[in-house]
Amino acid sequence: MQDQVQEVLNKLRPFLLRDGGDVELIDVDDEGIVLLRLMGACGNCPSSTITLKAGIERALMAEVPGVREIEQVF
């Protein structure tokens, strides 16, 4: 599952880079919880929660079977 998550993140990365940010995959646990770290401009942006939940989480849940939730690591 970790490889599938990374593939989706690689598709989303250009959009984050365009705004001066990036995302790092920390871990995917056995329960389908994905731990991510937003970096650069995304790390301290007031909209980072929206980016994480409405953008990244939605894409991962749609494209990777078994992903249940995204959690941000600081």
Q: What percent of the chain has pLDDT over 90?
A: 78
Give pLDDT tens digits for 39-55: 998 888 888 888 898 89
Q: What is the CATH number of the domain that holds 5?
A: 3.30.300.130
> pLDDT category, 5, cuts 50, 70, 90?
very high
- The C-alpha torsion from 35 through 40 and 44 to 46, rounded to 10°, is -90
Total domains, the chain: 1
The answer to whether the CB of 26 falls within 8 A of the CB of 35 is yes
Domain of residue 39 covers 1-72
Q: What is the largest CA-CA distance in the chain?
A: 32
